[in-house]
Structure 1
Amino acid sequence: MSDEIMIFCLTVCIIFLAGIVIYQQFAFHTGTKAKLREISCKLKQILDSNSDEKVMIFTDNKVLVELAEQINRMLENRQKIKVEYRRSEMASKRMLSNISHDIKTPMTVILGYLEIMRLNGIQSNEMMQKIENTAHHVMELITQFFTLAKLEAGDMDLTLEKVNVNEACRENILDFYELLSQKEFQVEIDIPEQTFYTNTNKDALQRMMYNLISNAIRYGREGKYLGVFLWADQAHIYIDIADRGPGIEKEFAESVFDRLFTMEDSRNSSMQGNGLGLTIAKNLALQLGGDITFVSQPYQRTVFTITLKKMAC
């Protein structure tokens, strides 16, 4: 075979192989574009219809498979955000509705007593006392509502200072002394002689304890017991507030600190509450770098624990 024929054959082979490579590249790019167009159309359809579908693609191209996986991750996150938004929106509407109802009811009582007094032309110390008590209840509701609104909007100014936690516990217990005596509660207090300090907002700490003790008295009244225990380890300070009431059923455990969740949902339907006290306490604790947790054994021991960062003396 002459050299010219060999060169010709080699040239033909090279051209043929080059043609195969070019065709494969063309087919690859054409197929890739088609798959990308398919993904784009599907994604547009999902977004336009606001559906919860996922992008499905059948290909051996690992890059396209990974792209589809990342798009589906984004769609899943979008779906979660939608669910949380709807939940938050519904909670806000429920909160406004409940607060409006809670404010309207005592105000109706106030107006009713005033109307009776006007018609009878008399003044009754007992009626006046009821009016004053109801008015205080209204003010408490309004204060709680706006406190929570400020906390969730990040507008609450929580100035930090060195706080004597032992003293804060004693002050809170004294505030409830008369009420506990009237209701004949057994009170157990354990505040050690060693003083514990934390860097926090004193008013916020007092509010957290007030809300938790109020809940223990209101919802644990059947047990007629209140326990307040202060203790610490090397890093944290713990304040336990315990009662022996109906407790909190496991099915409600994740909802206890939600807005508008009231203890009558899980304990006793005859007890009244507005569902903001624990939410406010939890929000305050988290914003101050602490936390509030709880454990519950119905009619044995329900304990809410405030956790604070310990500060060196």
Structure 2
Amino acid sequence: MIALLLLLILVLLIILFSQQNRLRSRSREMRYVHYKLNAILDQQTQERLLLVSSDPRIRELLIDLNRLLDVNHRGIVERARLESSMRNMLANMSHDLKTPLTVVLGCSEMLQRSDLPEGEQQQIIQSIHRKSMETIGLVNAFFDLAKLESGDAAPDMSRVELGELCRRNMLSFYDLLDHQGTEVHIELPEEKVHIMGNTEALDRILSNLISNSIRYGLDGAVLGLRLYTDAEYAHIEVWDRGKGIAESHQDQVFERLYTLEDSRNRTYQGSGLGLTITKRLTEQMNGRIALTSQPYVRTAFTVSFRKMSY
């Protein structure tokens, strides 16, 4: 009887000792997690919590904490990218606004001279008006992009026929293209193609894409627009045979204020926001935009939307 009692006491002591060891081990592991986690967050390193533990709950906690660290690291990288993008955007915006405003200031100073011929005064006034409108256009483009990226209001969607939309937009550029001697190719299907979209947004998308081809691709002297469909989607392709866009630049053309530095057509400059706005508008209507470019052969921007059944 006494031997049995002693054995029971021994078993209890072993259990208590084992539990105490586990508690001490868990305490050490939790202290490691606490200090290591704070060090990673304070120093913003890419380290992760590495700990061999026999406690399944500690292992689960480590897995979850490392997942949170992954999310935190991606957030830090994205924030740094956005801050860099914002700095570049503000610098470019300041430059783009400064240029026309400097012209306006110079012209207004010239007008203060009383000895200017009337004809020259009129030319200066026209230059002031032109540069003022350019500045207003740039400010409006920034405002439009800010509204798009805030996601405050979704566009009103309705049934839109793309063939007529394409014809109307190409016609609006006819005089400019004809004056520059550009050969125009238009390919439209005989049957009507309908999508759910916003007419105003689609007009702006096409206008921006055609303007972009005029701005960067007219050294090829050809501009084309093609509307075609597949089993699910309607595609609008605007293309030219100009110098094209190098592969290293293709991922950047939709960024805010990105412009190709070697733009050939200096009389038809843009703000660098057109393609960014085009991409945002396309995505708002659940579409997608793609770019392919082979210099002096074919540079094409294609927007695609899910087509409607009749």
Given the two structures, how large is their TM-score scaled by the length of structure 1? Answer: 0.89
Q: Post-superposition shift, 1:257?
A: 1.2
What does residue 300 of structure 1 align with? 297
- Judge conservation of contact 2:215–2:265 (CA < 8 Å) in 1: no
- Residue 100 (structure 1) aligned with residue 79 (structure 2): no
- The question of 1:56 aligning with 2:46 is answered no
Structure 2 CA distance, aligned partners of 1:225 and 1:104?
34
1:230 alignment partner in structure 2: 227
2:134 counterpart of 1:162: no
Residue number among 40, 61, 69 corresponding to 2:63 in the alignment: 69
Aligned equivalents of 1:53, 1:187: Cα separation in 2: 57
Q: Contact (CA 8 Å) 1:162, 1:198: kept in 2 or not?
A: yes
Structure 1 Cα separation of the partners of residues 2 and 290 of structure 2: 85
Deviation at 1:268, TM superposition (A): 4.9
Q: Which amino acid in 2 is paired with 1:146?
A: F
The structural deviation recorded for 1:18 is 3.0
> Within the alignment, does 1:261 sit opposite 2:261 as a pair?
no
Give the match for residue 309 of structure 1: 306
Q: Does 1:32 align with 2:26?
A: yes
The question of 1:88 aligning with 2:82 is answered: yes
Q: Which consecutive residues of structure 1, in runs of 5 or more, have no partner in the other structure?
A: 1-6
Residue pair 2:161, 2:194 contacting (<8 A) in 1 also? yes
CA distance in 1, matches of 2:138, 2:263: 21
Letter of the aligned partner of 1:106 in structure 2?
P
Distance 1:55 1:286 in 2: 39
**RMSD over aligned Cα atoms:** 2.2
- Amino acid of the residue matched to residue 94 of structure 2? S
| Native 8 Å contact 1:160 1:199 kept in 2 | yes
- Asked if 1:23 is matched to 2:20, the reply is no
- Indicate whether 1:191 and 2:188 are aligned: yes
Distance in 2 between the 1:192 and 1:118 partners? 58
Q: How do 1:205-224 residues align onto structure 2 when only pairs under 5 Å count?
A: 205-224=202-221
What CA deviation, in whole Å up to 9, does each residue of 1:29-74 have, x standing for no partner? 2211220121012212333444443223233434323322321221
Deviations 1:107-136 (A, max 9, x none): 222332343344233333544443333233
CA distance in 2, matches of 1:127, 1:230: 44
Query: What is the TM-score normalised by the length of structure 2?
Result: 0.90
Given the alignment, which residue of 236, 249, 259 partners 2:246?
A: 249
Q: Provide the C-alpha distance between the structure 2 equivalents of 1:199 and 1:235, rounded to a whole number of angstroms.
A: 13
Preserved CA contact (<8 Å) 2:216 2:264:
no
The 3-state SS of whatever aligns with 2:52 is coil
Deviation at 1:101, TM superposition (A): 1.8
Indicate conservation of the 8 Å contact 1:294/1:304, yes or no. Answer: yes
State the secondary structure of the residue aligned to 1:296: strand
CA contact (8 A) 2:49 2:66 kept: yes
Decide whether aligned partners of structure 1 residues 87 and 194 sit closer, same or farther in structure 2, where only a CA change above 3 A counts: same
d(CA) in 2 for partners of 1:12, 1:309: 81
Q: What's 1:123 paired with?
A: 118
Mean CA deviation greater in 179-188 or 121-130 = 121-130
Deviations 1:72-92 (A, max 9, x none): 221121111122112212222
Rounded to whole Å, the distance in 2 between the matches of 1:72 and 1:166 is 53
Q: What is the match of residue 129 of structure 2? A: 132
* Amino acid of the structure 2 residue aligned with 1:61: D
2:254·2:276 contact (CA, 8 Å) conserved in 1?
yes
Question: Residue 28 of structure 1: CA displacement?
Answer: 1.1
Shift of residue 95, structure 1, vs aligned partner: 1.7
Deviates more, 1:229-238 or 1:152-161: 152-161
For the 8 Å contact 1:292–1:305, the answer to whether it is kept is: yes
CA contact (8 A) 1:263 1:273 kept: no
Structure having the higher Rg: 1
Q: Tell me, what secondary structure is at the counterpart of 2:155?
A: coil
Q: What amino acid sits opposite 1:23 in the alignment?
A: F
Identity %: 37
Which residue of the partner structure matches residue 199 of structure 2? Answer: 202
